[in-house]
A and B are shown apart, each in its own frame.
Chain A
Amino acid sequence: MTDSKYFTTNKKGEIFELKAELNNEKKEKRKEAVKKVIAAMTVGKDVSSLFPDVVNCMQTDNLELKKLVYLYLMNYAKNQPDMAIMAVNSFVKDCEDPNPLIRALAVRTMGCIRVDKITEYLCEPLRKCLKDEDPYVRKTAAVCVAKLHDINAQMVEDQGFLDSLRDLIADSNPMVVANAVAALSEISESHPNSNLLDLNPQNINKLLTALNECTEWGQIFILDCLSNYNPKDEREAQSICERVTPRLSHANSAVVLSAVKVLMKFLELLPKDSDYYNTLLKKLSPPLVTLLSGEPEVQYVALRNINLIVQKRPEILKQEIKVFFVKYNDPIYVKLEKLDIMIRLASQANIAQVLAELKEYATEVDVDFVRKAVRAIGRCAIKVEQSAERCVSTLLDLIQTKVNYVVQEAIVVIRDIFRKYPNKYESIIATLCENLDSLDEPDARAAMIWIVGEYAERIDNADELLESFLEGFHDESTQVQLTLLTAIVKLFLKKPSETQELVQQVLSLATQDSDNPDLRDRGYIYWRLLSTDPVTAKEVVLSEKPLISEETDLIEPTLLDELICHIGSLASVYHKPPNAFVEGSHGIHRKHLPVQHSSIDTGESPVSSGPAANIEQTHVIPSQGDLLGDLLNLDLGPRSTCPRCPPCRWGLWTLTVLIACNSVLLLQVWLPAVKAKGLEISGTFTRRQGQMYMDMTFTNKALQHMTDFAVQFNKNSFGVIPTSPLPVHTPLMPNQNIELSLPLNTIGPVMKMDPLNNLQVAVKNNIDVFYFSVLIPLNIFFVEDGKMERQVFLATWKDIPNENELQYQIKECHLNAENHKKVKISV
């Protein structure tokens, strides 16, 4: 006899028939009927109307039937709370049953019935079950507290269940301990500040003892809980590590990963030069490799975590690159992750092997994978200089295959290689140009155009090539349009005689026929630049480009540290902090890596990291000899007093931003993203039309959006304060930046700083408060018209007490019209 027949029932009058059967006198018939009801429930039919009839079947000594009825109750009790009360009595009775299995079943099921009225009746039986003599009942009751907390948190606290749960941590049975830990961990997630788990050395010891004895799942709960503990010193950290290390040989990959999490966290506390630190690092690598021989899904989880571990501590797996070589029948998600890690581990020592592998991958079937492999070859060239030549020739081979997407991807990476090694591989340009027609993706087209523009002087028919792109100018994507505009301007500056017509054409296309403000602005800037001063134009447009970084897709360090605390969990799979995908109270509490040599746990409170960052913050002075600054003759240095018309300066400033594309050279980075959870602030001070401004660019390098910005200055020597709040009104999305200028005046409270022009700034957003300090260049305090009436000047001079006067002989200084200026500094 099989159960599958229950799935096939005749449609007509089904519910009615079931009702009759449920009230049948024969026990067997009733059992059959309940099975049919459960089958109907599973496939999604609404059988809630049978509630009273099913509940009637509850009074039975047949455990199987009882379990089925309970299953039905769990599903429908919420819809019929009044009816559910009918079941309470038999639950309470079952909680007193001599059979521990039935006691546990009753308390387990009662917790699953999420009806407020029932929970009141649950308290007494639960209290008894928490102190039951049978461990099976106790471990079930422990989980039941978590269930009850989910329904009615207040009741759990009022009834003192949390204390009972804490008592269970000292239980003699390891499984009771494990479930109590699991329940407490979950409850404490919604109370981030209460010290519910009360992790003290004594409790930790109990947990470590239970660790050796409980089931694999229990070990996971305990290890996950241990990872939240902050050992008070390195000795304690080491002794915990020693007792956790054996778990690395467990067959269950989740136990292994959770143990890795504990070890990775506590490694932070161990002195780097100790023997133990190094042996521990060595012990971490084999289990991580072993995870890759598991089932593909676990491999995927492991690889996502290894990706984090490789970024945090590359030394662990640097010898193991071979295990990340892709197998032909790996699932695609495993292949892509392995490739990612291969690029990260590539070094001069293994580059030959890696390159041979990547070449194989580039001939595979899956388009995404092939593209990534081609991209990886380019990354290798940029990362390991010695391999660049081989990489380029490999890429050329790939271009010869003429497979469309391979060619396009290859051209994009070759552009990056040109950026990294200028004037080295131009010989291949001819081959690239052959493939011009087959490029249909914006990335590839833009890359090709960039190459043609950059090396216009060596390509005989550069003008023809670029002209061919110009035909469908308005159908191109913005990225291609912008690159094309710049490329043609470059071409014109290099070969002015033949290309005048072309440049005029593109400028008019960009400025007159386009709706895109970026494109129009850039067009106008070039136009004016070219028409006013071609020499400067040449210096600006053909200036040296900043270096490109060797590593890509690196996770921002603060996020990485947070993710290391979440090894094994979903956060580490998504590479996102939990609050990015978890709703409600769970997971909002952010985790931090422990900090070495600190008596108080600075790791736990995010605010305390603020002042630390403040101390480390280097005092930066805007540099005077900046390449582009000089080039554009901008007044950056404090001595220069040349008044310039502000709009002009603003325009040029925009220009440099546009040309330098990904780096704003004029601005100093005041607050690096590393120190401010992904917020980068760069800025400078200027004076325009008699008003001081702090020009800043906020860049969001984190993965979440930022809102609620505010700024505040500490008391300073000049009483500088902002005159208006920060003009940021919209949330700052990830990877976006915003330019703003904050008007300042000097009417605030005064306090002498050292150095004198030091200014301490606090910026706040929805994430945290960040502190940094900057030096205000003195020249922004100077008024444009430095003139003073003779009398006034003398009077002012006299007002300054003698001890404030310093004599200094200026040699060989030709004074002409420049006025002596003096700033009165109140000290």
Chain B
Amino acid sequence: MIGGLFIYNHKGEVLISRVYRDDIGYVAQRSFMVTSCIKPATLFNVNLFVCRRNAVDAFRVNVIHARQQVRSPVTNIARTSFFHVKRSNIWLAAVTKQNVNAAMVFEFLYKMCDVMTAYFGKISEENIKNNFVLIYELLDEILDFGYPQNSETGALKTFITQQGIKGQTKEEQSQITSQVTGQIGWRREGIKYRRNELFLDVLESVNLLMSPQGQVLSAHVSGRVVMKSYLSGMPECKFGMNDKIVIDKQGKGGDLYAFCCSGKQSIAIDDCTFHQCVRLSKFDSERSISFIPPDGEYELMRYRTTKDIILPFRVIPLVREVGRTKLEVKVVIKSNFKPSLLAQKIEVRIPTPLNTSGVQVICMKGKAKYKASENAIVWKIKRMAGMKESQISAEIELLPTNDKKKWARPPISMNFEVPFAPSGLKVRYLKVFESKLNYSDHDVIKWVRYIGRSGIYETRC
């Protein structure tokens, strides 16, 4: 299991170090001695403490300060394995000497980032220093002897508060412990809202790789259903969408809605994953999504589709090399959705060669600028309705070089935001049942929003 956990700043200084097992360090020491110099004073002090520091240092020397780009998120230095993730300038590293579950270690590091963000906002050097006592307290709770324990913020916030838990009654204490260890570890009991409300966001990112000739090389939508729930008590929820498998099954049974939207309206979901609150065995057997939601914001599900994707934009590039010192680029974008809808924050990024000396741009709509530091022409359009077309043309002057290597021609990438789900997913219902409290499904105010964003939306040129 995880032997220790360290947090470093970008200089490689340790901000947090928590060692769970003695085995890490002893050997890392050797590699460290070779790669770096140790002050003589510490050499005599060969105690456990020094050894631990050397595991810490081995990582700094070999990964953070490594000259080469990081070639793997898992590094093995002298039989000690270091797992790391980076958040802005901060490195989180888990260290072990055993054959641990690697996926679990990374998932834990992500979770750790989530928990920290939930407690004190952005993960930055300043925030970590400001909250180091809290972080130690959290680490003590969510990782025991290297085994991850309950790490749901909802539960943790009930007893790790930085205010001490002196004032609690016995009932409150046992409520906390039963919640932390219980089946519904993500929600505490006794939540009350005057107004029961929930927000559902269907957030999709549509990914595309298109050949210069307009052939779709790969396209998929990865979507998330994010829910903000402000519901009293322990509500039982049921979520329904236009999943092809469900619709087809119900269509036979005479469901009216299913009948109306059978055929084209339903979508084929390649695969989906759920928040741990969802009863997976029920989904597996009946394909129904039922759960008791955590309080506040969380991600209910993720899904992926590859069939019948609505590609909101089509990019048509035309690059012509005129001699050795000039390039002519023309790019047309076409919007492909209902004319009544508006796409926003449209940005087209046309890469230019490294030896570009000057660029002249003409565009009909929006603003375009050559950004030398990014080696690209950036064309921005604030809004664009569906079924429209727009075009940009540019002349790129090149400096003559004797560089043998050809320009790699990176793909033209695009960013946008559209108010619909490119996968075609529709929320059919979200029913809320709470038998113990006196509110019913009708009293809950529900909001649904669809946002489609560009993921990696690239057209080769």
Q: Which residues of A are at the interface with B, using a C-beta cutoff of 8 A? A: 2-4, 6-7, 35, 38-39, 42-44, 46, 48, 61-64, 67-68, 70-71, 75-76, 78-79, 98-101, 104, 108, 111-112, 114, 134-137, 139-140, 143-144, 146-147, 150, 173-176, 179, 182, 186, 212-217, 220-221, 224, 243, 245-247, 249-254, 256-258, 286-287, 289-290, 293, 295-298, 300-302, 322-323, 325, 327-329, 331-333, 353, 356-357, 360, 363-365, 401-404, 566, 568-574, 578, 581-584, 586-587
Most chain A CB within 10 A, of B106, B173, B174, is at B106
Contact with A along B133-149 (1 / 0, CB 8 A): 11011001000110111
Q: Which residues of B contact A (CB under 8 A)?
A: 1, 13-17, 19-23, 27, 45, 47-49, 53, 56, 69-74, 76, 79, 81, 83, 85, 96-104, 106-110, 126, 129-134, 136-137, 140, 144-145, 147-152, 159, 162, 164-166, 168, 170, 173-174, 176-178, 180-183, 185, 209, 211, 217-218, 220, 222, 270-276, 279-281, 283-284, 299, 301-302, 304, 404-406, 408-411, 413, 456, 458, 460
- Are B13 and A186 touching (Cβ within 8 A)? no
A44 contacts B14, C-beta separation under 8 Å: yes
Q: Least Cβ distance of B183 to chain A in Å? A: 5
4 pairs of A and B residues whose beta carbons are closest in the complex: A286-B271, A136-B177, A4-B129, A246-B284
Residues of A within 8 A of B79 (CB): 581-583
A586 interface neighbour in B49, B69, B99, B408, Cβ under 8 Å: B99
CB neighbours of A257 from chain B (8 A): 101, 103
Q: How far is the CA of A578 from the CA of B101 in the complex (A)?
A: 12
B106 and A295 form a contact (CB under 8 A): yes
Main secondary structure of the interface of B (DSSP, over half): mixed
Q: A114 to B47, alpha carbons, bound, how many Å?
A: 14
- Closest A residue to B76 by beta carbon equals A581
Complex-state Cα separation, A186 to B126, whole angstroms: 38
Q: Are B103 and A79 in contact (CB under 8 A)?
A: no
Contact of B409 among A220, A331, A363, A584 (CB under 8 A): A363
The answer to whether B170 touches A98, judged by C-beta atoms less than 8 angstroms apart, is yes
Instruction: Report the separation of the CA atoms of residues A287 and B271 in the bound assembly, to the nearest whole angstrom.
Output: 6
With A39-B132, A583-B97 as known contacts, state yes or no: A572 contacts B102, CB within 8 Å: yes
**In the bound complex, CA of A401 to CA of B409 (Å):** 14
How many interface contacts (CB-CB < 8 Å) are there between A and B?
304
Question: In the complex, are the beta carbons of B104 and A568 less than 8 A apart?
Answer: yes
* Shortest distance between the CB of B14 and any CB in chain A (Å): 6
Instruction: Find out whether the CB atom of B181 lies under 8 angstroms from the CB atom of A175.
Output: yes
Chain B positions within 8 Å of A214 at CB level? 183
Complex Cα distance, B183 from A43, in Å, reads: 39
Name the residue of chain B whose CB is nearest to the CB of A364: B408
* B136 A71 Cβ-Cβ under 8 A: yes
Residue of A35, A322, A404 most packed against chain B (CB within 10 A): A322
| A residues near B110, Cβ cutoff 8 Å | 295, 298
The reply to whether A252 and B406 form a contact with Cβ atoms under 8 Å apart is: no
Closest B-chain residue to A285, C-beta based?
A: B271
Q: Residue B302 contacts which of A42, A71, A217, A251 (CB distance < 8 angstroms)?
A: A251
State A352–B19 Cα separation when bound (angstroms).
52
Task: Contact check, B73 vs A300: say whether CB atoms are below 8 A apart.
Answer: yes
Residues of B within 8 A of A135 (CB): 177-178, 181-182
What are the residues of chain A within 8 A of B70 when measuring CB–CB? 331, 333
| Least Cβ–Cβ distance between B257 and chain A, in angstroms | 24
Q: State whether A365 touches B107 (Cβ < 8 A).
A: no
Nearest B residue to A70, CB-CB: B140
Q: Which residues from A are CB-within-8-Å of B299?
A: 251
Q: Give the CA-CA distance A46 to B44 in the complex, in Å.
A: 13
Whether B147 pairs with A143 at a CB distance below 8 angstroms is yes
Q: 18 A-B pairs, CB-CB below 8 angstroms? A: A3-B129, A3-B133, A62-B164, A173-B181, A179-B144, A250-B274, A251-B273, A252-B276, A254-B101, A258-B103, A293-B304, A295-B110, A301-B106, A331-B70, A568-B102, A569-B100, A569-B101, A582-B79
Chain A positions within 8 Å of B406 at CB level: 363, 401, 403
Residues of A within 8 A of B27 (CB): 583
Q: Which residues of A contact B23 (CB under 8 A)?
A: 583-584
- Which A residue's beta carbon lies closest to that of B109? A297
With a cutoff of 8 Å between Cβ atoms, the chain A residues found around residue B152 in the complex are 215
Query: In the complex the two chains form, is A43's CB within 8 Å of B173's CB?
Result: no
Q: A295-B85, A301-B102, A356-B217 are in contact. List 5 more A-B contacts (CB 8 A).
A: A4-B129, A250-B273, A297-B85, A402-B404, A581-B81
A7 contact set on B, CB distance < 8 A = 129, 132
Task: Collect the chain B residues with CB atoms within 8 Å of residue A146's CB.
Answer: 145
The answer to whether A67 touches B136 (Cβ under 8 A) is: yes
Asked whether B283 lies within 8 Å of A4 as measured between CB atoms, the reply is no
Most buried by B among A139, A245, A249: A249
User: Chain B: which residue is nearest A7 at the CB level?
Assistant: B129
Please tell me if the beta carbons of B133 and A212 are within 8 angstroms of each other in the complex.
no
- Which residues of the other chain, A, contact B218 by a CB distance below 8 angstroms? 322-323, 325
B98 touching A587, Cβ below 8 Å? yes
A332 cross-chain contacts in B, Cβ below 8 A: 69, 71
- Distance of A298 Cα from B23 Cα, bound (Å): 25
Q: Which single member of B49, B150, B178, B180 contacts A75 (CB below 8 Å)?
A: B49
Tell me which of A79, A301, A328, A363 contacts B47 (CB under 8 A).
A79
CA distance A722 to B243 in the complex (A): 72
Residues in A whose Cβ lies below 8 Å from that of B20: 112
Contact A42–B15 (Cβ < 8 Å): yes
Given contacts A76-B49, A290-B304, A574-B76, contact A42 B16 (CB under 8 A): yes
A298-B103, A573-B74, A583-B97 known; A186 vs B1 contact (CB < 8 Å): yes
Q: For the complex, what is the distance from the CA of A300 to the CA of B270, rounded to whole Å?
A: 21
Q: How far is the CA of A250 from the CA of B181 in the complex (A)?
A: 19
Residue in contact with A568 in the complex, picked from B73, B103, B410, CB distance below 8 Å: B103
Q: Is the CB of B274 within 8 A of A64?
A: no
Return chain B residues, CB-CB under 8 Å to A61: 166
Interfacial chain B residues near A139, Cβ < 8 Å: 149, 181
A362→B272 CA distance, assembly (Å): 34
Contact B99 A571 (CB under 8 A): yes
A72 CA to B14 CA in the complex, in Å?
17
Q: How far is it, in angstroms, between the C-alpha of A106 and the C-alpha of B283 when the chains are bound?
A: 41
From A44, A150, A179, give the contact of B21 (CB < 8 A): A150
Q: Complex: how many Å from CA A820 to CA B130?
A: 100
- Contact A290 B281, beta carbon cutoff 8 Å: no
Alpha-carbon gap, A78 to B47, bound state (A):
9
Of B45, B131, B150, B177, which contacts A134 at CB under 8 A? B177
Residues in A with CB closer than 8 Å to B408 are 363-365
Q: Given A78-B48, A587-B99, decide whether A101 and B165 contact each other with a Cβ distance below 8 A.
A: yes
Contact check, A114 vs B22: say whether CB atoms are below 8 A apart. yes
CA A617 – CA B47 in complex, angstroms?
55
- CB-nearest residue of chain A to B1: A186
Given contacts A254-B101, A573-B74, is CB(A298)–CB(B106) below 8 Å?
Answer: yes
Give A214 to B101 CA distance when docked, in angstroms. 18
Given contacts A101-B159, A251-B276, contact A570 B103 (CB under 8 A): no
Bound state CA distance, A2 and B273, in angstroms? 39
Residues of A within 8 A of B14 (CB): 42-44
Instruction: Please give me the residue from chain B that is nearest to A35 by CB atom.
Output: B133
Minimum Cβ distance to chain B for residue A166 (Å): 18
Cβ of B145 and Cβ of A147 under 8 Å apart? yes
The one of A43, A251, A583 that contacts B13, using a Cβ cutoff of 8 Å? A43
How close is A414's CB to chain B, nearest CB, in angstroms? 20
Please give me the residue from chain B that is nearest to A132 by CB atom: B177
Taken together as a complex, chains A and B put the C-alpha atoms of A38 and B17 apart, in Å, by 10
Contact residues in A for B22 (Cβ distance below 8 Å): 114
A179 cross-chain contacts in B, Cβ below 8 A: 144, 147, 149
Cβ–Cβ < 8 Å partners of B270 in chain A:
286, 289-290
In this complex, what residue of A is CB-closest to B45? A46
In the bound complex, do residue A249 and residue B181 qualify as a contact, i.e. CB atoms below 8 Å apart? no
Query: B103 touching A42 by the CB < 8 A rule?
Result: no
* Minimum C-beta distance from B104 to chain A (A): 4
* Structural contact, A302 and B136, CB atoms closer than 8 A: no
Q: Which of B145, B165, B281, B456 has a CB less than 8 Å from the CB of A111?
A: B145
B181 touches A570 (CB 8 A): no
| Known pairs A140-B144, A328-B410, A586-B99; A250 contacts B276 (CB<8 A) | yes
